[in-house]
Amino acid sequence: MRRIGAALAALALAGTAIGTAAATASAAPGGAARAAAACPTGWGSLAKGSPDVGAVPLADVRTGRHDCFDRIVFDVPGGGDHIGHYVRYVDRLHQVGSGDHIPVGGGAILEVRVAAPSYDPETGGVAYPAVVAEPLPGVNLTGYRTFRDTRFAGSFEGQTQTGVGVRARLPFRVLQLPDRLVVDVAHSWT
């Protein structure tokens, strides 16, 4: 009977020690539990989209770095709260309309189509001064953890197409904000 009591006491102490160690690790600054909670990545990597063809032109494309993700923003002044889009991973970027292949650097390619032409639909004048197969103007990806490259693929039937080269096929999300479309790509899956 004494041996069973001693064994139960030892198991209880071991369980308490394991519970205390786990609580201490998760509460420690930079602990695994804290990092996982601070960087949600349940976004997935499947295609995301919302139909519409834009009549309001694309004005600018810019990027930003965050602790958990890299961000690309498509500014469409006058686009309102709903800007049509289609975002997906592709093996190769092919220009809509011509089918021409546009090389994009990185371990994976995220194709982003925004329902906003790079030209003014009323005048035909240039609204977003990009050149097909070239990096996006004014976008510098130096120091980014996930983004590796950007390429302009042109505008066709009211949509502007770009390719974003990323380090690997990682989770992403698309946010609709007033007059802009935001695409965030996570730094990791965890």
Query: Is there a domain that residue 154 lies in?
Result: yes
73: domain CATH number?
Answer: 2.60.40.3500
Query: Is there a domain that residue 43 lies in?
Result: no
Indicate whether 55 and 23 sit together in one domain.
Answer: no
Phi and psi of 152, rounded to 5°? -85, 130
Q: What is the mean pLDDT of the chain?
A: 85
Query: Is there a domain that residue 159 lies in?
Result: yes
Indicate whether 104 and 27 sit together in one domain.
Answer: no
Average pLDDT over residues 62-80: 96
Indicate whether 52 and 20 sit together in one domain.
Answer: no
Indicate whether 21 and 54 sit together in one domain.
Answer: no
Indicate whether 117 and 85 sit together in one domain.
Answer: yes
Query: Is there a domain that residue 74 lies in?
Result: yes
Indicate whether 93 and 31 sit together in one domain.
Answer: no
| Non-local CB neighbours of 166 within 8 Å, separated by 6+ positions | 70, 106, 107, 108, 109, 110, 146, 147, 148, 185
Q: What is the pTM of this model?
A: 0.80
3-state secondary structure the chain: CHHHHHHHHHHHHHHHHHHHHHHHHHHCCCCHHHHHHHCCCCCCCCCEEECCCCCCCCCEEEEEECCCEEEEEEECCCCCCCCCEEEEEECCEECCCCCCEECCCCCEEEEEEECCCCECCCCCCECCCCCCCCCCCCCCCCCCCCEEEEEEEEEECCEEEEEEEECCCCCEEEEEECCEEEEEEECCCC
Predicted confidence at residue 51, as pLDDT, reads 85
Indicate whether 65 and 100 sit together in one domain.
Answer: yes
Predicted confidence at residue 125, as pLDDT, reads 95
- 36 or 75: which carries more pLDDT confidence? 75
Which tokens is 93 given?
A: 């970027």
User: Could you read off the pLDDT of 128-172 as tens digits, one per residue?
Assistant: 999 999 999 999 999 999 999 999 999 998 999 999 999 999 999
Q: Which amino acid is at 88?
A: R
Tally of domains within the chain: 2
Indicate whether 93 and 30 sit together in one domain.
Answer: no
Query: Is there a domain that residue 104 lies in?
Result: yes
User: Could you read off the pLDDT of 89-137 as tens digits, one per residue?
Assistant: 999 999 998 999 999 999 999 999 999 999 999 999 999 999 999 999 9
Location of structure tokens 């205390």: 20
Indicate whether 23 and 87 sit together in one domain.
Answer: no
Which tokens is 33 given?
A: 């539990």
Indicate whether 113 and 131 sit together in one domain.
Answer: yes
Residue 164 pairs in a beta bridge with: 110, 150
- 164: containing domain: 48-186
